[in-house]
Amino acid sequence: MRYLPLFLDLAGRRVVVVGGGVIAGRKVDLVHAAGPRIAVVAPALAPPLGARLARGEVEHVAAAFEPAYLDGAAFVIAATDDREVNAAVAAAARARGIPVNVVDDLELSDAILPAIVDRSPLVVAISTAGTAPVLARFLRERIETVVDGAIGRLATFLARWRGRIKAGATDLRERRRLYDWILHGPVAQRLRVHDEAGAAALLEQRLREGAAAEPAGRVTLVGAGPGDPGLLTLNALRALQAADVVLHDRLVSPEILALARREAELVEVGKSASGHSVAQARIHELMVEHAARGLHVVRLKGGDPFIFGRGGEELQYLRERGVPYEVVPGVTAALACAAYAGIPLTHREHARSVRFVTAHCRESIDAVDWRGLARSDETLAVYMGAGTLPRLAAELLRHGRAASTPAAIIENGTRAQQRVLLGDLAALPAIAEAERVGSPALIIVGEVARHAAALGWFGAPPMVAPAAIIGQGLRAA
């Protein structure tokens, strides 16, 4: 190891930064977070440092560098673009026994500023001893994605409770078990959802009553998005990487399942377009059974869990049984399919609102407010509608929506096999049949659908239905 990592307490101490440019500004950004008094030595300041000066966050020594400016400093950074000046700064710092960093100059530096992941009070510092800063940044990005902000709150919480924990669990083994329970169990869970009081109450109870408390598992309801793994949120990725069990819908793509923690058990609790009501009760039981064993269950659903995903029912079941849960939203099919087909769901001129509707069975179709749906200035995004498309189109037409209204079917949206079929409302059922549209498919009805012809960018270009089966609506596009 060439350099010893150290964490320097600079609060209230003097730090001198020589240089007033953009690079110096970046170093000041970094150092400022540690609370020192910063003096910037430079004839003039670039705008970012000028703004800090205006806010009273730095002192400006408006002059060329002189060694005496370093007197009393705890740390020095040289960030000018003149190597001679930087060398003079380094020599003056060394003569005074002050550690110095010279930007992009290992030879002149005796301290390196690492790449950091800041989850204060927890901080991860990464250095490649100056050999490959890109590698340090690469690693930092990876750590950023897996370590969420709650780790900092956990560190603060542990610092506050350290004395009580030590007094309450005098035996070292018991204390280790206790910490294990805090880190992996319900206390960390409460902190993740910003319930500090709940976390404190749980720890209080555990200290009072001992290990009798059950190993509490939990459930994270996660939206996996429509298929493209790039549309997962960071929180979804974190949940997958912390999962013991993943209960996933059939719709979730294999690329996304591959992101789960390697040791996690993957269970398909698939449901197809019809007849999944029996399976739903079993899904509820599975979630609770696994959580009762102290496991972290990820309930992974296509799209967003709260859009035609029965997420509400699942949460209700968990709540009734006292199982802690969290929800990670996902990109719902309407948003994703529209984006990947080049269809803006709203438009200043001809789509003032957008509605997400489903029409997958007789019952849901009968319950629909067709008159409302037929409004011409609204975009409709229809989920699970491919099977009932003839009825859907007929009802919309009967209630006054124009036969020439542009309409699109997006099959396998955001996936490699994505297909976009374009036509008008009257022709859509025939198009779907001719092209043998499969599942999953989303239907978009409204003036905005015509934009797919020009704005589509992903996968194969949209298939525009031949003139023989569409009316004039789309031709006008």
Q: Does residue 456 belong to the site contacting ligand SAH (CB under 6 A)?
A: no
Binding to ligand SAH, residues 284-303 (CB under 6 A): 301-303
Among 333, 343, 393, 448, binds ligand SAH (CB under 6 A): 333
Among 45, 442, 448, 464, binds ligand SAH (CB under 6 A): 442
Q: In whole angstroms, how close is the CB of 305 to ligand SAH at the nearest point?
A: 6
Q: Does residue 413 belong to the site contacting ligand SAH (CB under 6 A)?
A: yes
Among 65, 75, 181, 308, binds ligand SAH (CB under 6 A): 308
Q: Does residue 383 belong to the site contacting ligand SAH (CB under 6 A)?
A: yes
Cα 63 to its chain centre, rounded Å, is 46
Residue closer to ligand SAH (CB basis): 17 or 425: 425
Q: In whole angstroms, how close is the CB of 431 to ligand SAH at the nearest point?
A: 16
Q: How far apart are CA 301 and CA 225, in angstroms?
A: 8
Contact 101, 77 (CB under 8 A): yes
Q: Which residues of 184-207 are buried (b: 16+ CB within 10 A; e: fewer)?
A: bbbbbbbbbeeeeebbbebbeebe
Among 20, 36, 429, 440, binds ligand SAH (CB under 6 A): 440
Residue closer to ligand SAH (CB basis): 209 or 363: 363
Long-range contacts of 202-205 (CB under 8 A, 24+ apart): 203/161, 203/165
Among 332, 379, 388, 405, binds ligand SAH (CB under 6 A): 332
The residue length of the chain stands at 477
Q: In whole angstroms, how close is the CB of 412 to ligand SAH at the nearest point?
A: 5
Q: Does residue 414 belong to the site contacting ligand SAH (CB under 6 A)?
A: yes
Backbone angles phi, psi at 312, to 5 degrees: -60, -45
Binding to ligand SAH, residues 248-267 (CB under 6 A): 251
Residues 6+ apart with CB under 8 A from 232: 224, 225, 240, 256, 259, 330
Number of residues this chain uses to bind ligand SAH (CB under 6 A): 23
Q: Does residue 405 belong to the site contacting ligand SAH (CB under 6 A)?
A: no
Q: In whole angstroms, how close is the CB of 316 to ligand SAH at the nearest point?
A: 17
Sheet arrangement for strand 463-464: 353-358, 378-383, 441-445, 406-411, 419-424, 463-464
Q: Label residue 69 left, alpha or beta by phi (over 0 means left) and psi (-120 to 50 means alpha).
A: alpha
Q: In whole angstroms, how close is the CB of 156 to ligand SAH at the nearest point?
A: 36
Q: Which two tokens stand for residue 300?
A: 């992974």
Q: Does residue 69 belong to the site contacting ligand SAH (CB under 6 A)?
A: no
Binding to ligand SAH, residues 209-228 (CB under 6 A): 226-227
Cβ count near 346 (within 10 Å): 14
DSSP 237-264: HHHHHT-SEEEE-TTS-HHHHTTS-TTP
Q: Does residue 314 belong to the site contacting ligand SAH (CB under 6 A)?
A: no
Backbone angles phi, psi at 452, to 5 degrees: -55, -35
Active site residues: 249, 271
Q: In whole angstroms, how close is the CB of 231 to ligand SAH at the nearest point?
A: 10
Where does this chain bind ligand SAH (CB under 6 A)? 226-227, 251, 301-304, 307-309, 332-333, 337, 383-384, 410, 412-415, 440-442
